[in-house]
Amino acid sequence: MRLGRSRRSSNIEDRRASPGGGTGMKFGIGTIVVLLIGYFMGINPATLLGLVGGLEGTGSSAPTATGTPTDAEADLIAAVLGETEDTWNNIFRQGGSQYPSPTLVLFRQSVNSACGYATSASGPFYCPGDRKVYIDLAFYDELATQFQAPGDFAQAYVLAHEVGHHVQNVIGTLGQVQSAKQRVSEGEQNQLQVRVELQADCYAGIWAHYADKSSGILEPGDIDEGLKAASAVGDDTIQRRMQGHVVPESFTHGSAEQRMSWFMRGYEGGKVESCDTFSAR
């Protein structure tokens, strides 16, 4: 990616100075498998295990630095966040409204949010309660090695997806889906969550479309990196690797094919209305 001229966002809380945990919690293999399947949830993946109520407030308070990080490790993510802010600011402005940018929280090992407690095993997540995106940058090493999806645009896709959840929260989609989930079966709840995740993928594609159009940030091979990452975190890909077989009824994020397809729909069309996953068959 060509990010040399990109504006670095200052909407960042850096909590990496010390671990946010210190509770002595132990997580077994089974627990980690469940959390891995919860990658890229629109809400805190810790809720999958009922951790919110029991663990909220158990972590120690880590020192927080606010503003643009100065270290090389966080530079790419600050640049990508700045690009997402510029893109969605323009889209909202054209629609006659204002885009309230999310805050990115960088942490190590574990973190407390308005959605509860989470560990690094939860993967990146967006919390609607405080409108913040949470990422342990060590996840990107896992994305490259365990998920075999390396590259700077793969990292950008992850952040753009979580920012997509913020857009959903701002325009009311997440609240509507949460209300709808209370009236349907577990299987239908999963289907609704899949549509939420696929729409966030489509919004990530829209970001890539406009960021490249306005800033020329993409290089040859970048989109392929994003598609590889989208495929790597498809429910079928994760389930096949973790348990050796696929259970479509339990999908909460969509298959590899669906995730790639909706990302490309956003990237090629660049239209928010084309990301209506809730009307799609």
Structural domain boundaries, residue 74: 12-275
The C-alpha angle with vertex 239 and arms to 235 and 241, in degrees rounded to 5, equals 125
Task: Flag whether 281 is in a domain.
Answer: no
Q: Is residue 63 part of a domain?
A: yes
How far is it, in rounded angstroms, from Cα 81 to Cα 75? 10
Contact 62, 106 (CB under 8 A): no
Q: How many domains does the chain have?
A: 1
Within-domain flag for 7:
no
Any idea which residue has 């709808």 for tokens?
180
**Mind listing the pLDDT tens digit of every residue in the chain (281 residues)?**
999 999 999 999 999 986 553 333 333 333 344 445 454 444 455 444 444 333 334 444 556 889 999 899 999 999 999 999 999 999 999 999 999 999 999 999 999 999 999 998 889 999 999 999 999 999 999 999 999 999 999 999 999 999 999 999 999 999 999 999 999 999 999 999 999 999 999 999 999 999 999 999 999 999 999 999 999 999 999 999 999 999 999 999 999 999 999 999 999 999 999 999 999 88
State if pTM tops 0.95.
no
pLDDT of residue 159: 98
Which two structure tokens, joined as six digits, stand for 55? 């663990």
Task: Say if 77 falls within a structural domain.
Answer: yes
Q: Which residue has the tokens 């020329």?
A: 216
CA-wise closest residue to 123 among 51, 195, 41: 41
> First and final CA of the chain: distance in angstroms?
34
Looking at the domain assignment, is residue 3 inside a domain? no
SS3 content of the chain, % helix, strand, coil (to 5): 55, 10, 35
Residue 122 pLDDT? 85
Calpha distance 123→229 (Å, rounded): 14
CB 167 within 8 A of CB 203: yes
Cα atoms in the Cβ-side hemisphere of radius 13 Å centred on 107 = 28
